[in-house]
Amino acid sequence: MTKYIVKRLLFMVLALWVITTITFFMMHAIPGGPFTSDRQLPAAVEAALNAKYKLDQPLYVQYFDYLKGLMRLDLGPSFKYEGVSVNEFIATGFPISASLGGLTIVFCLIIAIPLGITAALKNGKWQDMLTMFIATIGVTIPSFVIASLLMYVFSLKLGWLPTFGLNSWKGYILPVIAMGGYALAYLARLMRSSLLEVMGQDYIRTARAKGLSEFKVVVRHALRNALIPLITVLGPTIAALLTGSFVIEKIFAVPGLGQHFVSSISNRDYTTIMGVTIFYAAILIAMTFIVDIFYCLIDPRIKLD
Amino acid sequence: MPEDLHVNDPWAPLEIDKDDREKIWSQSSSFAKDVWYRFTRKPTSLLGLFLLVVLVLFCVLGPSFVPHSYEVQNLNFVNIPPTFNVYNVEGRYIYLTPNLKLIEVAEDGTLLAPLARINDDGMKKRTTFDMGGGAELVLNYKAKPPQLEDSERNAITDMRQVRNKTYPLGTDNLGRDMLIRLMMGMRISLLIALIAAAVNLVIGILYGGVSGYIGGTLDTVMMRVVDIVSTIPLTLYVILIQVLMGGSSGILSIVIALGTVYWVNMARVVRGEILSLKEQEFVHAARTLGSGTWRILTTHLIPNAMGPIIVTVTMLIPNAIFIEAFMSFIGLGVMPPMASLGTMCNDALSTLRSSPYQLFLPALAICLTMIAFNFVGDGLRDALDPKLRK
């Protein structure tokens, strides 16, 4: 176990380094400096700016400076906002995005697991059909379409919910549903198929033969095993939610990190783009790692590595 | 003889025909036939296939039947819905737009021309329009909802609903035809689908095949590359490439991003298949007969892995379409004036309250496209590999 964890940690560092390097050199391969794309600056001003941000130094020096900063968890200053560091952007934006994302995951699991269980236990009946219908709809409609349609119906036509912001609990409802739609559908489908598979196993027949109640059979024996595939996909699901937040935050004007990331792209704020990309990558790698470890802890049959 | 057999002696044994017994009565079935049979048994996959054909015809042939261009703006006819109410003013039909302009419409719903504004009395909240030939029409916007009055201040109430004949699906907020823009947007979606499929089928298969068949250190290195690539979501790659290539690159950056990283899942699938196939006897036989690595890979291994490959491709295509729409929606994909379903949805948000059809149409188009690909994909998966059916 320890050996596996150490190996995974080393790989995480390697992956992060590769991503940092690629992002760094991509951002520096853009023709023209970050200050030339705006209106023409006097040469002296531009030189001063370049010197301030150390852009006048050779690329490899900048690269090692950046890596050194990264080791101290310092992502450098923003190019477009004077005196604001990328760390500050993340510190203000990420908690908002994370609370929205966390709520969405909880919402998805709370709805998807019972839905999937009902569908599997009522296999072929109307409950199953309904669940599969919802799941198909959820998988086929992109989140931004769901978001816009929800906003049209509930905010503009009915006027029940606010169109933007997270000022009250009401503000969370639409973003959470829109963001979680795909994950919810996917998880419900997975829950259904995995429970169906487990219910056909021999040990379920044994449990029934012992005379256990159907409730105990499902909860104690079937469900525990059927939840394992769900945990495996939680990592990728978190990744999808994280990137899905770009568009949801834009539509509902949520001042989160995703919204900030998108605007830094249109502003060509290279250090922010670079820093936030690396931050996202680090979060994702860490999430997958945690999920994998968790997965091994729950299911002793899975051998590490 | 057989006809009168039972007349003579119902209990007489039948004559046994040796050739008859050996004959294969049913038609022999090939793999492709089996797959097609299983595919057509499922109603949803047929529906998906039908939708897909209709969508392809719609966006490939459609634009040649539409008289408008996707980029020409007509600022006289902005935000005109597919159906609207017209006022009957002495035999002439007038449409009152949400932003308080008057457009003359023919009886069948053809848009003619906007009426010229003579003067605007801001105090009384009345605008006078020129009907031609000295006649005038007054728009009273003090009333809620605004109403039309003739020169004697009598409100005109004679209204009827007509379909927009000039623009069957209406116009967007710059007066461009929605129909042709939908067609162009779907062309982009299908183009992305084609590119995603091509990338997976070429790079993914070769990469996974080489990695799986050659094995050893090469395999380890190639798979570590795949591991690293797959840690970042595709959206971030597209964004980085978009930034690198500059704002005007549009769809090209999405294509490049797909081309550079979208094959990793396929490579994993193919590698797994090849690993289990390469130990089988027919591969040993081929090697004994002197076939080279390339030949074994292309003629023996890859065709045998085709089932999972096709299943994976059909699963990855909707995702690629989705990513294009997503990127265009947040303004990082297709650049104006080109239409994409994502940009159309985004444009519609600003006028959502007054012109919701501008959102509904592209949303419907995206959903239909995704449903078509998902249904065909599910059908193909079940047909190619019945074991996977869920």
Contacts of A268 in chain B (CB under 8 A): 243
Q: Do B246 and A27 touch (CB under 8 A)?
A: no
Contacts of B336 in chain A (CB under 8 A): none
Contacts of B318 in chain A (CB under 8 A): 140
Q: By the 8 A CB rule, do B160 and B86 touch?
A: yes
Please say if the pLDDT value at position A84 is more than 60. yes
**Torsion sign (Cα): A216, A220, A224, A225:** negative
What's CA B322's distance to the chain center, in Å? 9
- Tell me the whole-structure pTM to 2 decimals: 0.79
Please say if the pLDDT value at position A33 is more than 70. no
- What are the angstrom distances between the C-alpha of B130 and each of B115, B121, B134, B152, B158? 6, 15, 7, 15, 19
A233 to chain B, any CB pair closer than 8 A? The answer is: no
Helices (H), chain B: 2-8, 18-22, 31-41, 43-61, 178-199, 205-214, 216-229, 234-245, 251-261, 264-277, 281-288, 293-295, 302-304, 306-329, 341-350, 357-384
Contacts of B363 in chain A (CB under 8 A): 141, 145, 148-149
A140 to chain B, any CB pair closer than 8 A? The answer is: yes
pLDDT at B53: 92
Mutation pick from A131, A134, A145, A249 vs chain B, by most beta carbons of B within 10 Å, is A145
Map tokens 């996977």 to a residue: B388
Local structure of A254: helix, strand or coil: coil
Contacts of A149 in chain B (CB under 8 A): 359, 363
Q: Do A239 and B233 touch (CB under 8 A)?
A: yes
Nearest to B232 by CA among A234, A243, A248, A139: A243
pLDDT at B316: 85
Nearest-CA distance B368 → chain A (Å): 8
Nearest to B174 by CA among B364, B348, B341: B348
Amino acid letter, B342:
G
A to B CB pairs, distance under 8 Å: 112
Parallel, antiparallel or unpaired: strands B159-163 and B135-140: unpaired
* B178-388 fold: MetI-like fold (1.10.3720)
What ipTM is given for this predicted complex? 0.77
Q: Do A243 and B244 touch (CB under 8 A)?
A: no
The Cα–Cα gap between A174 and A106 comes to 15
A154 to chain B, any CB pair closer than 8 A? The answer is: no
Q: Do A145 and B231 touch (CB under 8 A)?
A: no
- What are the angstrom distances between the C-alpha of B270 and each of A229, A236, B162, B307? 22, 21, 56, 10
Nearest-CA distance A45 → chain B (Å): 24
> Which residues of B lie inside 8 Å of A (Cβ-Cβ)?
227-228, 231-233, 235-236, 239-244, 246, 318, 322, 325-326, 329-332, 342, 345-346, 348-349, 352-353, 356, 359, 363, 366-367, 370-371, 374, 390
Q: Do B233 and A144 touch (CB under 8 A)?
A: no
- The beta-carbon neighbor of A145 closest among B241, B363, B390 is B363
A288 to chain B, any CB pair closer than 8 A? The answer is: yes
Exposed / middle / buried, residue B18 (Cβ in 10 Å: 0-12, 13-18, 19+): exposed
- What are the angstrom distances between the C-alpha of A172 and each of A98, A167, A177? 13, 9, 9
A18 to chain B, any CB pair closer than 8 A? The answer is: yes
Q: Do A139 and B331 touch (CB under 8 A)?
A: no
Nearest-CA distance B242 → chain A (Å): 9
Contacts of A145 in chain B (CB under 8 A): 345, 363, 366-367
Q: Which residue of A has its CA nearest to B369?
A: A140
Report domain extents, chain B.
Answer: 83-163, 178-388
Q: Do A15 and B345 touch (CB under 8 A)?
A: no
Local structure of A30: helix, strand or coil: coil
Contacts of A189 in chain B (CB under 8 A): 390
pLDDT in tens, chain B (390 residues): 455 555 677 787 877 777 777 777 777 777 788 888 888 888 888 898 999 999 888 888 887 787 777 777 777 777 777 777 777 777 777 777 777 777 777 777 777 777 777 777 777 777 777 777 667 777 777 777 777 777 677 777 777 777 777 777 777 777 788 888 888 888 888 888 888 888 888 888 889 888 888 888 888 888 888 888 877 777 778 778 877 776 666 778 888 888 888 888 888 888 888 888 888 888 889 889 988 888 888 888 888 888 888 888 888 888 888 888 888 888 777 777 778 888 888 888 888 777 888 888 888 888 888 888 888 888 888 787 666 544
- The beta-carbon neighbor of A30 closest among B244, B318, B329 is B244
In this prediction, residues A55-72 reach a mean pLDDT of 79
Instruction: Among A8-17, A72-81, B346-355, name the most confident range.
Output: A8-17
Q: Do A243 and B243 touch (CB under 8 A)?
A: no
Mutation pick from B47, B220, B231, B268 vs chain A, by most beta carbons of A within 10 Å, is B231
Nearest-CA distance B235 → chain A (Å): 7
A212 to chain B, any CB pair closer than 8 A? The answer is: no
Helix (H) or strand (E) holding B162: strand B159-163
A283 to chain B, any CB pair closer than 8 A? The answer is: no
